[in-house]
Amino acid sequence: MNYLNSKPINDGFYMPAEFSKHQATILIWPTRPGSWGKNPTDAQNAFCNVINTISENEVVYLLTLKEHNEQVKNIFNDNKNVVIFQIDSNDAWARDTAPTFVTNDKEVRGISWNFNAWGGDFDGLYADWEKDNALAKKLCDTLNCKCYNAEHFVLEGGSIHSDGEGTLLVTESCLLSKGRNPELTKTEIENILKEYLSINKVLWLPRGIYNDETNEHVDNVCSFIAPAEVVLAWTDNKNDPQYELSKACLDYLENTTDAQDRKIKVHKLPIPDNPICCSEDDCNAYEFEEGEDVRNVGDRLAASYVNFYFCNNTILLPQFGGENIESDKRAIDIMSRLCPNHKVVGIDSRAILQGGGNIHCITQQIPKGDF
């Protein structure tokens, strides 16, 4: 085990931007009935579309449980860019349970945070998260990648977003939630992020996406597409509960600067015009464990196009279909205009949304470099 107990203070390692070059992407095969249903076929098909698209641009490390190892090997047998590792997990949210990777532009290292299922005993989403919490260490060991021990601090990868130049986006609603690090002050939390990620300035957005069960991760509401340039989930409908949340974020961004003292250019990326809610059939498809958060008929899902993923020269953009076909097309048009050097690929991700997140939530990038 290449486990580093020292803090990465002033050692030259920093968290690069997601739009910088990757060597690989991590995903976890979805099987949990409480997220993906008693029959996870739709979710697995959506994951396959994500994996196959990413593998055209970079290597995919796909983690599976022992009982699904042969099934997954058979599916990706002909794809040489998909490497399968048998590593236990409780669910398939690689963004939050895989390591956060940092680099000195030559070597890549991982960070293992403390994962407690988005809130632990206070408001966590399932009762047993032991395998998820051990995943980052096991993967770094498998990759022979040095790993910083940050297990004194509860953090998920979806709650942070770096511009690669010293600025980090977070949300107050998540990082200051009582289920994360209630013994720490806002300043103490900020200092830990600065230490481990080599960040100079943390931008504290007040809120995230309405009804986001992660306490409103930043990766669902706001994302860097370039230094000093972000897309922000938006709606013009003042009667939509998302309006006040997005407006609060816009007001904040328009009145702050990044670590380089640059004003931040904000592009509005509208959420689907028609809210996506759990149907009776959706709810009947789940099989929840004791202590697991449940869904009810009519619950609004946290649908956002900001939950996209950069993989080298491609952007994987969520698509929801149904009543939101025009919204889907609008999102592709906006992202294609904002990121002309990237190919924007729409991925039908309604089945991923049903699990509680989207494309960004199920992926974790490894920047280019050596382990």
Burial class (CB in 10 A: 0-12, 13-18, 19+), 29: buried
d(CA 171, CA 119): 15
The alpha helices in the chain, defined as continuous H runs, are: 33-36, 41-54, 69-75, 94-97, 120-123, 130-143, 172-175, 186-197, 241-253, 280-285, 325-338, 350-355
Kindly list the catalytic residues. Answer: 361
Angle at 77 between CA 59 and CA 317, to 5 degrees: 45
Q: Comparing C-alpha atoms, which of 102, 174, 179 is closest to residue 145?
A: 102
CA distance 78 to 132: 29
Closest residue by Cα to residue 168 from 212, 198, 137, 146:
198
DSSP label of 177: S
Output the CA–CA distances (angstroms, integers) from residue 247 to 205, 206, 207, 266, 330, in the order listed: 11, 10, 9, 12, 20
State whether residue 170 is helix, strand or coil.
Answer: strand
Q: 152, 7 in Cβ contact below 8 A? A: no
Task: Please state the φ and ψ torsions of residue 291, each to the nearest 5 degrees.
Answer: 85, 0
